[in-house]
């Protein structure tokens, strides 16, 4: 909790550290009612900062200082200055040691930052600025040191003692306690420090690297979860191989460990050699984890592993550069997932997520550039913009430089900066130098916030046989900047002839045609590209693969979109055409609803989706994606003013119409797939994910028919499935149905069967929190008193509160403001013990500008109530004050 007004920190004020730390030696004595941390730092003046010996200002928060020595001399109270956040010493020579002992309280640390307890185990989370809650230190990423760590704890309760690097010794003490020492030979900033002590079991495997070194792989979990680690282990080995093959990056220590903990603020953390994971991103087996959960485990394991190079070996100079490691690593994990599963489906999922959530962030009060210029609380900047848009920026680089050029650039980046803390500019410079490219203008993607718009118009000249596309780019004002300069926007496109075949593309001035799909680089506010030798007016397929994170508009007719859905050679754009068609149709219905007219659905949507459903040659996952209507959240994002009632009504009406019109085809596909499921043991692989996703979306439509045979099918799937993917969908369709008795029974059976599995109970909470049936808020409030619920556990908060406020829009936005009041009350409560989670849960209220004036007033009133409630954490303070600015 802050004691002074939080301050804004600016990138332009960056200065290199005054002092460096060459070696860090830590000893932890862990007890039940406190812990002691002894640190010895071998320090020296930073030669880059010139002569003189300025004061040494160490970061430290919530530490009880027991003793401090400088250059081996005990210091008295007048020899140093101590504040809530700093310890200031006065070195008398260029090189010196600092020894401190502090007392801390992991056992009461509910913020889950620094050293804390999750259940019976000790664990840490130091990124971004948690290490200062462990000991006095230069807690900034450009101070890199080697670490030796000794952990001492009671043998019986904490048989496993872990830290970064390689184990170098351990043994018993005569007081029932034992010790272990770890040495990490790689220089690292403090945010990558980790420690774990607990009663853990591990699954062990090994990996032989490209150069033939054997690495021990261990996944540590609480004993009851030992049967749920194999998928994560397989994912780890695949990731290690992939990073060698695709980026030439090998692992560097003798051991790589993952530890699963139940109480964790985010997904996982890439601490050197000792990744600590939210158990939801490690544990997966058929009976208890869905296909989506399996894929998330694979992606997060890969992401954290990839950080070993993009993050740890080469790290960030300061936290403004966060996307240097996060954007790049998200891009790496996305490509890994695409290679392991269906590339097109992965792209569709990522783009749908980006456009719904990152675009909303970019249009809201917290909008910031991929490399922000300022922040109050860095924890608030682990955002969709830094991660997802950051990844899109790296993807655009690859598109512009080509695969080989991009690899040359990444090789140079890793080679040049290994062991350093660097900037986004350094990353771009490596890409430039390796390719002889000039990326000066491209860098605007790092400094300008907001989602660019790209308006495209066409002109066909039959006489000259030329086809011109004019592209106009603009970018809306964001809180940081009003005027934006043009971006470099790579637009991949093709031109389809009347048969739907891509024609050969030749731009005016080119000697010969070059391919049927190509990338235009749009660099000016308005630019026209003219294609020659175009015999008949073509239909453009624009922004293939979503080649840039922009809002593109082109005046397609619905018939043209149907044509693209069937013929576009780019799978992503086939899906995209379907989405655009659905958006047009839904927006028409939204208007009808607002004007009090009867809703009339454009039957072309039914025809188009019926065609997709009937085509048995199509990848089933693609069929499932195409049958998924744009979400309410996406329809909200693209509305000027979102009428949530109209959006909900229009979308539900369309789902009902589709269910009625396509019943037979849906039923046939459902039955065929369910029969196959019954005969096939669960396999976590793309074609099986595909089959189950089509089966499950079919069931969710079919259920709208209310027919007894569908209810029977849902109950059969609920009772008899051997995997959570099918069982949970069956539960969800029952919960969203009017069959009260069956619903209650299924919820009861499910809770009874899985009451001892917290991750499964999270799903049970989410399904209910997300149900659009009336009375949702009352249900959510009641569930908060359920014995399996716990407000101190972030997964539970996300499962219940996050699902309600983020996914159940019709209920969260109830016109009486009850949803807003509930969320604000919760944020106020969470602010008291876990500021990071409080600030995250606040996001839906920050979007108040999207809604009608009555709702705006209600949402703002709640934000003001939070602001006035007393001691706000810097996390919540920043979001609330920016939202009300």
Residue 367's SS3 state is coil
Within positions 311 to 340, which residues make up the interface with Zn ion, using CB under 5 A?
326, 329
Return the structure tokens found at 219.
Answer: 């996944």
* 764 vs 382: CA distance, rounded Å: 27
Nearest approach in angstroms of CB 267 to ligand B3K is: 6
796 interacts with, out of ligand B3K, Zn ion, none, CB within 5 to 8 A per kind: none
Query: In the structure encoding, which two tokens stand for residue 140, read together?
Result: 């900034």
Beta-ladder partners of 202: 220
CA distance 520 to 396: 12
| Unique residue bearing structure tokens 């299924």 | 746
191/469 Cα distance (integer angstroms):
49
Instruction: Exactly one of 129, 222, 304, 492 is catalytic; name it.
Output: 304
823 binds, among Zn ion, ligand B3K, none (CB under 5 to 8 A by kind): none
Closer to ligand B3K by CB, 181 or 315: give it.
315
CB-nearer residue toward Zn ion: 218 or 303: 303
At closest approach, how far in Å is the CB of 191 from ligand B3K?
8
Q: Is position 304 annotated as part of the catalytic site?
A: yes
- How many Cα atoms within 13 Å fall on the side-chain side of residue 6? 21
What minimum distance in Å lies between the beta carbon of 382 and ligand B3K? Answer: 5
Residue 266 binding: pick among Zn ion, ligand B3K, none (C-beta 5-8 Å cut-off by kind): ligand B3K
Q: Which residue has the tokens 């300022």?
A: 374
**Residue 127 binding result from Zn ion, ligand B3K, none, given CB thresholds of 5 to 8 Å by partner type:** ligand B3K
- Minimum Å distance from CB 261 to ligand B3K? 14
Contacts (CB under 6 A) with ligand B3K, residues 94-133: 127-128
> CB of 75 within 8 A of CB of 56?
no
Partners of 44 in beta bridges: 20, 95
What does the block give as tokens for 711?
Answer: 């209810």
From residue 239 to residue 278, the character string flagging contacts with ligand B3K as x (rule: CB under 6 A) and all else as - is: ---------------------------x-xxx--------
Note the helical H segments in 370-501.
384, 390-417, 424-435, 444-447
Give the DSSP letter of residue 345. H
Pick 391 or 547: Cβ nearer Zn ion: 391
| Cα distance between residue 492 and residue 706, in whole Å | 44
For the sheet containing 466-474, what is the strand order?
A: 526-531, 466-474, 453-461, 551-553
Stretch that binds ligand B3K, among 299-307, 476-484, 504-512, 791-799 (CB under 6 A): 299-307
Number of Cβ atoms within 10 Å of the Cβ of 885: 7
For 695, the token pair is 């089966």
Q: How far apart are CA 871 and CA 523, in angstroms?
A: 47
Q: Which is nearer to ligand B3K, 135 or 271 (CB)?
A: 271
Q: Which of residues 828-857 bind ligand B3K (CB under 6 A)?
A: none
Q: Which of residues 546-565 bind Zn ion (CB under 5 A)?
A: none
Q: How far is the CB of 604 from ligand B3K (least distance, A)?
A: 43
| Of residues 269 and 283, the one with the C-beta less far from Zn ion | 269
Dihedral pair phi/psi, residue 756, rounded to 5°: -95, 5
Closest approach of ligand B3K to the CB of residue 870, in Å:
24
Range 126-185, binding ligand B3K (CB under 6 A) = 127-128
Peptide bond into 290 cis (omega under 30): no
Strand order in the sheet with 539-541: 518-522, 489-496, 539-541
Closest CA to 28 of 103, 97, 86: 103
303 or 593: whose CB is closer to ligand B3K?
303
Measured between alpha carbons, how far is 777 from 502 in angstroms, rounded to an integer? 51
Q: Using CA atoms, how far apart are residues 193 and 822, in angstroms rounded to an integer?
A: 37
Tell me how long the chain is.
Answer: 885
Helix, strand or coil, per DSSP, at residue 752: helix
Q: Which is nearer to ligand B3K, 24 or 379 (CB)?
A: 379
Q: Choose the contact partner of 341 out of ligand B3K, Zn ion, none; CB within 5 to 8 A by kind.
A: none
322/646 with CB nearer Zn ion: 322
Strand partners, 37: 28, 102
Instruction: For 137, list phi and psi in degrees, rounded to 5.
Output: -160, 165
Residue 643 interacts with ligand B3K (CB under 6 A): yes or no = no
Whether 850 and 867 have beta carbons less than 8 Å apart is answered as no
Letters for 352-391 (x = contact with ligand B3K by CB under 6 A, - = none) are ---------------------------x--x---------
Q: Which residue of 99, 304, 377, 637 would you call a contact of ligand B3K, by CB under 6 A?
A: 304
Partner whose footprint covers residue 690, from ligand B3K, Zn ion, none (CB < 5 to 8 Å by kind): none
Minimum CB–partner distance for residue 347 and ligand B3K (Å): 21
Q: Partners of 205 in the beta sheet?
A: 217
User: Which lies closer to ligand B3K via its Cβ, residue 282 or residue 469?
Assistant: 282
> Cβ closer to ligand B3K: 379 or 771?
379
Q: Which residue is nearest to ligand B3K (CB)?
A: 127
Q: Which helix (H) or strand (E) holds 613?
A: helix 603-614
Residue 455 CB, shortest distance to Zn ion, in Å, is: 34
What's the rounded Cα separation, in Å, for the pair 476 and 453? 8
Structure tokens, 541? 């397929």
Residue 303 makes contact with ligand B3K by CB under 6 A: yes
How far is it, in rounded angstroms, from Cα 864 to Cα 253? 51
Half-sphere exposure of 114 (CA within 13 A, CB side): 25
Closer Cβ to ligand B3K, 192 or 284, answer by number:
192
**Interaction residues for ligand B3K, span 781-800 (CB under 6 A):** none
> At which residue do the structure tokens 């200065």 appear?
15
Considering the complex, what minimum distance in angstroms separates the CB of residue 874 from ligand B3K? 13
Phi, psi of 857 (to 5 degrees): -65, -40
Least distance from ligand B3K to the Cβ atom of residue 269, Å: 5
What is the rounded distance in angstroms from the CA atom of residue 388 to the CA atom of residue 354? 7
Pick between residue 184 and residue 304 the one whose CB is nearest to ligand B3K. Answer: 304
Residue 475 contact partner, candidates Zn ion, ligand B3K, none, CB within 5 to 8 A by sort of partner: none
The least distance separating ligand B3K from the CB of residue 37, rounded to whole angstroms, comes to 21
Given ligand B3K, Zn ion, none, residue 799, with its beta carbon under 5 to 8 Å by kind, binds none
Binding site for Zn ion (CB under 5 A): 326, 329
Binding site for ligand B3K (CB under 6 A): 127-128, 266, 268-270, 303-304, 307, 326, 379, 382
Q: Which amino acids are annotated catalytic?
A: 304
């Amino acid at each position: 909790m802050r004691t002074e007004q939080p301050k804004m920190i600016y990138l332009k004020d960056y200065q290199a550290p005054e002092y460096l730390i060459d070696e860090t030696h830590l000893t932890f004595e862990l007890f039940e009612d406190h812990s002691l941390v002894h640190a010895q730092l071998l320090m020296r003046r930073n030669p880059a900062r010139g002569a003189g010996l300025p004061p040494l200002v160490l970061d430290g928060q919530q530490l009880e200082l027991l003793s401090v020595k400088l250059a081996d001399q005990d210091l008295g109270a007048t020899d140093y200055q101590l504040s809530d956040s700093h310890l200031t010493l006065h070195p008398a020579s260029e090189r010196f040691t600092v020894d401190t002992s502090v007392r801390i309280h992991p056992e009461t640390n509910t913020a889950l930052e620094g050293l804390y307890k999750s259940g019976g185990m000790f664990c840490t989370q130091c990124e971004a600025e948690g290490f200062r809650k462990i000991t006095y230190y230069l807690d900034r990423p450009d101070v890199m040191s080697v670490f030796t760590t000794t952990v001492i704890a009671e043998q019986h309760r904490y048989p496993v003692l872990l830290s970064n690097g390689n184990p170098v010794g351990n043994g018993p003490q005569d007081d029932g306690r034992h010790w272990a020492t770890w040495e990490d030979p790689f220089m690292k900033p403090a945010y990558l420090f980790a420690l774990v002590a607990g009663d853990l079991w591990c699954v062990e495997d090994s990996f032989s690297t490209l150069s033939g070194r054997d690495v021990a792989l261990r996944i540590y979990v609480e004993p009851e979860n030992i049967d749920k680690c194999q998928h994560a282990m397989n994912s780890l080995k695949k990731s290690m191989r992939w990073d060698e093959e695709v980026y030439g990056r090998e692992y560097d220590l003798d051991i790589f460990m993952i530890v699963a903990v139940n109480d964790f603020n985010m997904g996982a953390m890439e601490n050197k050699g000792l990744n600590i994971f939210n158990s939801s991103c490690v544990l997966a087996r058929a009976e208890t984890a869905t296909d989506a959960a399996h894929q998330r485990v694979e992606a997060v394991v890969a992401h954290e592993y990839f950080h070993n190079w993009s993050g740890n070996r080469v790290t960030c100079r300061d936290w403004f550069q966060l996307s240097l490691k996060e954007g790049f690593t998200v891009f790496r994990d996305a490509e890994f997932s695409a290679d392991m599963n269906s590339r097109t489906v992965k792209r569709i999922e990522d783009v749908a997520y980006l456009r719904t959530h990152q675009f909303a962030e970019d249009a809201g009060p917290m909008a910031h550039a991929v490399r922000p210029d300022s922040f109050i609380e860095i924890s608030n900047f682990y955002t969709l913009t830094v991660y997802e848009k950051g990844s899109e920026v790296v993807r655009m680089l690859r598109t512009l430089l080509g695969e080989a050029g991009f690899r040359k650039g990444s090789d140079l980046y890793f080679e040049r900066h290994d062991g350093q803390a660097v900037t986004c500019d350094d990353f771009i410079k490596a890409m430039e130098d390796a390719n002889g490219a000039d990326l000066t203008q491209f860098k605007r993607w790092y400094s300008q916030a907001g989602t660019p718009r790209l308006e495209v118009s066409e002109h066909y000249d039959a006489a000259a046989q030329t086809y011109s596309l004019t592209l106009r780019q603009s970018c809306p004002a964001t809180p940081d900047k009003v005027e934006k300069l043009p971006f470099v926007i790579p637009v991949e496109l093709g031109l389809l002839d009347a048969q739907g075949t891509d024609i050969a593309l030749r731009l005016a001035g080119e000697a010969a045609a070059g391919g049927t799909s190509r990338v235009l680089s749009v660099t000016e506010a308005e630019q026209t590209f003219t294609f020659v030798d175009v015999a008949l007016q073509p239909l453009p397929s624009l922004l293939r693969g979503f080649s840039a994170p922009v809002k593109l508009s082109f005046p397609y007719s619905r018939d043209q979109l149907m044509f693209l859905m069937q013929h576009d050679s780019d799978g992503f754009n086939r899906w995209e055409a379907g989405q655009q068609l659905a958006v047009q149709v839904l927006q028409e219905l939204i208007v009808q609803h607002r004007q009090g007219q009867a809703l009339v659905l454009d039957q072309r949507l039914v025809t188009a989706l019926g065609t997709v459903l009937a085509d048995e040659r199509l990848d089933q996952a693609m069929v499932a994606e195409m049958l998924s209507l744009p979400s309410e959240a996406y329809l909200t994002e693209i509305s000027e003013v979102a009428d949530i009632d109209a959006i909900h009504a229009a979308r539900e009406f369309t789902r009902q119409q589709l269910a009625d019109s396509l019943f037979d085809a849906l039923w046939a596909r459902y039955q065929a797939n369910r029969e196959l499921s019954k005969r096939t043991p669960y396999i976590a692989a793309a074609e099986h994910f595909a089959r189950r996703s089509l089966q499950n979306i079919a069931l969710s439509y079919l259920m709208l028919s209310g027919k007894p045979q569908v209810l029977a099918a849902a109950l059969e799937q609920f009772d008899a499935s051997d995997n959570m993917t099918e069982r949970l969908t069956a539960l969800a369709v029952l919960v969203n149905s009017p069959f009260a008795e069956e619903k209650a029974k299924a919820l009861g059976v499910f809770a009874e069967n899985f009451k001892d599995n917290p991750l499964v109970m999270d799903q049970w909470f989410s399904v209910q929190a997300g149900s659009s049936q009336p009375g949702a808020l009352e249900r959510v409030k009641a569930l908060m008193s359920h014995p399996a619920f716990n407000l101190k556990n972030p997964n539970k908060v996300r499962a219940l509160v996050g699902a309600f406020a983020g996914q159940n829009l019709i209920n969260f936005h109830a016109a009486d403001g009850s949803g807003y009041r509930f969320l604000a009350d919760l944020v106020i409560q969470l602010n008291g013990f876990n500021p990071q989670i409080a600030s995250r849960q606040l996001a839906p209220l920050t979007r108040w500008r999207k809604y009608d004036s009555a709702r705006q007033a209600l949402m703002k009133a709640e934000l003001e109530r939070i602001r006035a409630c007393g001691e706000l954490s810097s996390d919540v303070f920043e979001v609330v004050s920016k939202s009300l600015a």
